[in-house]
Amino acid sequence: MRILVIGAGTMGAGIAETAIQKGLSVWLTDALPDALPRATHRIRQNVARAYDKGRLDEPVDLVMARLKTVEEWPDGVDWVIEAVPEQLELKHDLFRALDTRYGPQVWLASNTSSIAVTRLQAATPRYPERVAGLHFFNPVARMPLVEVIRGLDTRPEYLDAARELVARLGKTAIEAPDRPGFLVNRVARPYYLEALRMVDDDRLLSMEEVDAVFEGAGFPMGPFRLMDLVGIDVNFSVTKSVFDQTFGDPRYRPHPWQERLMLRGHLGRKTGRGFYRYE
């Protein structure tokens, strides 16, 4: 099975890494030329770590040989998984181009966190029935769940094929409704937003205290540490997307603190500073 992964950022690189470790061939592409060597370097480091820890039997070079970085979309693709930023217009343009470039035998999946798949099908007039959502979680290599989302026009066989792909990647598929935020982000948005309001508006606790409370209650990460991991920009875009798609439901209203960090370029761990500072 040959997969084209579009977008070599946090998620695209993670999906590519998982797929090559499971024996699948991947083409990885990005709009920014710099992104590809950076992603390849990160993937190699992670594959080497998995090998050193005994989680992988094959030598690193053999696994890495299944990854090719490309600037043009190749022929011979079975699946496309898109992981470009969470902006409706950007994803629309991409799906329009994919619909023109590839025939009906190529499945098109989006790793969108929040955009209804039916909206993406509006950009694929030729073959909307082969479009669905495959929502992986961060970090992809470690998170077992993938939400599989069926849009209005998605063919049922597609979902069977998607479940099979998810199983080959060693993950568990759960079918999620095609609603803004699907299942996980519908619940996760208020989790982050309530924490932001509690600290910034109501001054009830500090962000360190909020994180400590949730981590003490068994959550692997408190909301602020998690937002830093996800990326402040990614998190803010997803919040805005859910808010817009629910016609301004106040439960999903973005918080000005998110925007303040965005404007200062403090995007979380990836820039060395978000809510917290990182070495």
Interface residues toward ligand NAD, by CB under 6 A = 6-12, 30-32, 35, 83-86, 90, 94, 111-113, 136-138, 230-231, 234, 238
In angstroms, the Cα distances linking 8 to 38, 116, 238, 264 are 9, 22, 18, 24
Output the smallest distance, CB 30 to ligand NAD, in A: 4
* C-alpha–C-alpha distance, residues 70 and 67, integer Å: 10
**Any catalytic annotation for residue 185?**
yes
Q: Which of 135, 237, 241, 255 is catalytic?
A: 135
Two tokens, residue 44:
């190699």
CB nearer to ligand NAD: pick between 33 and 250? 33
**Any catalytic annotation for residue 255?**
no
The annotation places the binding site for NAD(+) at: 7-12, 30, 86, 91, 113, 138, 270
Question: Tokens 């769940």 belong to which residue?
Answer: 145
Output the smallest distance, CB 18 to ligand NAD, in A: 13
In the chain, where does DSSP find H-type helix?
A: 10-21, 35-52, 60-64, 88-101, 117-121, 156-168, 184-196, 207-216, 223-230, 232-245, 256-264
> Is the Cβ–Cβ distance between 16 and 26 less than 8 Å?
yes
What is the C-alpha R_g of the chain? Answer: 19
CB nearer to ligand NAD: pick between 60 and 229? 229
**Any catalytic annotation for residue 46?**
no
CB nearer to ligand NAD: pick between 86 and 211? 86
Output the smallest distance, CB 229 to ligand NAD, in A: 7
> Is the Cβ–Cβ distance between 3 and 27 less than 8 Å?
yes
CA 127 to chain centre: 23
- Name the DSSP letter for residue 53: T
Q: Which of 185, 235, 237, 241 is catalytic?
A: 185
Residue nearest to ligand NAD (CB): 9
> Is the Cβ–Cβ distance between 191 and 217 less than 8 Å?
no
Q: Which of 110, 114, 147, 255 is catalytic?
A: 147
Output the smallest distance, CB 47 to ligand NAD, in A: 18
**Any catalytic annotation for residue 147?**
yes
CB nearer to ligand NAD: pick between 39 and 60? 39
The annotation places the binding site at: 7-12, 30, 86, 91, 113, 138, 270
Q: Which of 113, 114, 237, 241 is catalytic?
A: 113
* C-alpha–C-alpha distance, residues 72 and 24, integer Å: 20
Output the smallest distance, CB 32 to ligand NAD, in A: 4
CB nearer to ligand NAD: pick between 94 and 116? 94
Catalytic (active-site) positions: 113, 135, 147, 185
